[in-house]
Structure 1
Amino acid sequence: MSDTTNATIGEAVHQNRSLSLDTLMDHAFARLFRGLVYAQIWEDPVCDMRALALGPDDDVVCIASGGCNVMSYLTASPRSVTAVDLSPWHVELNRLKLAAARHLPDHAAFYSLFGHADRTGNVALIDRHILPQLDPAARAFWNGREGMRSRKSRFARGFHRFGVLGTFLGTLHLVARLGGVDPGKLLEARTPEEQCAFFDAEIAPLYRSPVIRFLARRPAALFGLGIPPAQHQKLAADADGDIVRVLEQRTRKLFCDFPVDRNYFAWQAASRRYRADGLGPVPPYLEAAHFDAVRAGAGRVTVLNRAVTDVLADLPAGSRSVYVLLDAQDWMTDAQLSALWQEITRTARPGARVLFRTGGAADILPGRIPGALLDQWIYDPVASARAFAEDRSAIYGGVHLYRRKG
């Protein structure tokens, strides 16, 4: 990773400038983002696309993360997608997925690689069909080793179990099993009522554990969820400082509010995989019915290892219609937020939409960016509330949608 990338990641998460414990935690969190964080991202592209009314006339700018959202947007056939991320791992993963969609022989091979993600033949698929289509730097990345094995070998060893999030979920499973709970049993529930009964009997008591309560109140313990120290504070603020209560409420939504046979986030949380038979819920881009659209649209995506504000600064005025920021703004200072929205407003067409998530429930923009900027946008409370209610990932406090006036 270049020194420039390291500095950019640090700038994105360092809200504390003085020498303190908070500063050290910011640095520790920034280091995590130099590697793979999300093998599967934790935002629901289905509710996002519905709220945005994404379609063929749209030009999208988004945070790439692990690529599930970028690839899923292609099911709506947007005119272009510019995906940006500060993690080189995420950038290479997105480029690999796009090349796979274009060059693998069929959906079965594509699903083997990114759905099952644990088949012994997956490395051969990468070597035969994908790596020859990538540039030398990308080939070197996937052939490169971490420990004794190549990076590409992760797709034969359960890719969803890797990364910061996968490791974090594995640790939670270990803690749960030490408490006599097997989270995978949730997936045997046949109705939402059975899901809730399992949660109340097995999962909820874990939040009363002194160990869980101690760990949850330490910001570093939640780095595995991609929660930086500043966002940890916003989470706690929603429950008068009791972050344990917030985490329990959001886990309840994840495990109880949506049938497990339609919620792939619950499958990942409970087992770090999708259904072994390939018949369970998956992100839209992995569904067989969408493969042709994903293949056709893959060439319209550009993936960049840059900060989103810098990318926007290079785009023409009035050239974009959709912006998906995930929860990146929760990391930002007021100055960074203002710079971002200055570029969003400059590049936005009339009627453009911006969708983002927040760790806390409240919209974070009022009072933090200049009123002259915010006055050019209209907040959509109905679409925001609906998207939040429909978000199967359940981890965030709010989903927010703004529309450009005119």
Structure 2
Amino acid sequence: MTDTAGIGARIDGAVVRTPALSATGLLERVFSAAFRGLVYPQIWEDPLIDMEALALKPTDTMVTIASGSCNVLSYLTAEPKEIIAVDLSPAHVALGRLKLAAAANLPDHTSFSNLFRHADLKSNVKLYERHIRPHLDDTTRAYWDGREINGRRRIGRFTRGFYRTGLLGRFIAAAHGIARLHGVDVRELLRMDTVDKQRAFFDARIAPIFDSRSFRALISMRASLFGLGIPPAQYEALAGDDAEGMIGALRTRTERLACGFPLKDNYFAWQAFGRGYQPGAEASLPPYLEARHFETLRRNAGRVSIVNDSITTLLANRAAGSVDAFVLLDAQDWMTDRQLADLWAEITRTAAPGARVIYRTAAAASPLKGRVPDGILDKWDYRADQSLKLGARDRSAIYGGFHLHVKRDAAA
């Protein structure tokens, strides 16, 4: 039986900072309720950048926040010894476990691709029933067999376009709708065959939308960005990262997504502007969806465990010096000073010599200085130059900062 009260309490603990009888407190509780369902059908951190920063080895044990688990499976292509993924959302846990069971039990890469790349074929339910469902744990099976408010089974999302679901999928759909109200079909961007043409299209067709009165009124409401998985605390950090506030921050990040990289190399742009992955044999895809990695996924799927918990709680139950790599996504943007200090105390305790930590932030700067005790931070080497260079190459383009810390030698 699913512990819904416990799940709600854990998510509230991560998100809620303010008394309920306030505008911010109400928004935090609305966000917490929304986060109990599926938020990210696809994760929005570039796994190639992650793997370059982490330099994973066959002896490594990794702890990561799961989100949509695209990157969890992509990390498997580097063949670390073990990956422990955590997430507060039971929907994200169910999605990750579904992907692992599919990698281990589907007959071939074509079937795997049909389910998770195309994600809109009627035959996908048959793949689930025959090859995946018998291998799921009871909780995960109950989730995908469960009914949505419209009475349809959740697994049916993979027959109707999975990447159009969840809070993020619906947010992208709404953004397309707003663009159409301004006479712009943003899918036309995907026809541009050079970065110069991409930039010209952005400047002429997309950029003016950000200056419209209706768009500015919409974005002024903090709840408008819940679909991006941005809680009220992170909204303030993102808005404060640009002289024009939230409008400027969103314009800058959308411009980078649209123009920062050739479209043929950036599946994040295809998801944002095309609402799916690029067609064709030469398409840009997450590593876990590439045919050349399928047998590696199948062989290594058993190295991953995915649990419904907070990363701090999970680390508190691990032995000292037992983790080589940590991936925090952007979770620290949500945290209070106490939560940050507790997290980094556990990271430092459980970090093996030379351990690496990566994370992203809405604003450019790391949130740690002045909020995590110096006695903890002094045990880590912050790779500022490397972080800047890696962040500049992150194709997801939506974060202000990418950050890498490496555990110092205790004898140094």
TM range (shorter): over 0.9
Question: Contact 2:222/2:235 (CA < 8 Å) preserved in 1?
Answer: yes
Match 1:20 to one of 22, 25, 29: 22
Q: Distance in 2 between matches of 1:262 and 1:91?
A: 29
The number of residue pairs the alignment matches comes to 406
Give the letter for the 2:209 counterpart: L
> Can you list the C-alpha shifts for 1:129-156, whole angstroms capped at 9, x where unaligned?
0000112232221111102210000001
* 1:273 matched residue in structure 2: 276
- Among residues 355, 370, 389, which one is paired with 1:367 in the alignment? 370
2:61 alignment partner in structure 1? 59
Deviation at 1:18, TM superposition (A): 5.8
Q: What TM-score results when the alignment is normalised by the length of structure 2?
A: 0.97
Structure 2 letter corresponding to 1:287: E
Of 106, 113, 120, the match for 1:111: 113
Asked whether the 8 Å contact 2:74–2:286 carries over to 1, the reply is: yes
Amino acid at match of 1:95: R
Correspondence for 1:228:
231
Task: Give the conservation status (yes or no) of the 8 Å contact 1:115–1:278.
Answer: no
Partner of 1:92: 94
Distance 1:313 1:135 in 2: 25
Residue identity over aligned pairs, in percent, reads 53
5 Å matches for 1:43-58? 43-58=45-60
Equivalent-residue separation in structure 1 for 2:225 and 2:317 (angstroms): 35
* Separation of aligned partners in 2, 1:18 and 1:125: 45
Q: Which runs of 5+ in 1 are unaligned?
A: none
In the aligned structure 2, how far is the partner of 1:307 from the partner of 1:49? 23
For 2:117 and 2:248, the matched residues in 1 are separated by 33
Q: CA deviation at 1:55?
A: 2.3
Query: What SS does the aligned partner of 2:17 have?
Result: coil
Equivalent position of 1:151 in the other structure:
154
Q: Write the deviation string for residues 10-47 of structure 1: whole angstroms up to 9, x where unpaired.
A: 11011223621000010011111110000001111111
| 2:77 match: secondary structure | helix
SS at match of 1:82: strand
1:290 pairs, out of 293, 312, 321, with: 293
Structure 1 residue 53 displacement after superposition: 1.1
Q: Note the alpha carbon deviations across 1:79-136, whole angstroms, 9 max, x for none.
A: 1000000000000000000000000000000000000000110000000000001122
Counterpart-to-counterpart distance in 1, 2:208 and 2:139: 49
- Does structure 2 conserve the Cα–Cα contact (< 8 Å) formed by 1:116 and 1:278? no
Aligned to 2:181: 178
Hey, what's the Cα distance between the residues in 2 that align with 1:140 and 1:29? 24
The answer as to whether partners of 2:20 and 2:26 remain within 8 angstroms in 1 is no
- Which residues of structure 2 form unaligned runs of 5+? none
Deviation at 1:304, TM superposition (A): 0.3
Q: CA deviation at 1:56?
A: 1.3
Cα displacement (A) at 1:174: 0.5
- Per-residue CA deviations over 1:323-363 (Å, capped at 9, x if unaligned) read 00000000000000011011000000111000001111111
Aligned equivalent of 2:352: 349
Matching of residue 334 in structure 1 with residue 337 in structure 2: yes
Contact 2:360–2:403 (CA under 8 A) maintained in structure 1? yes
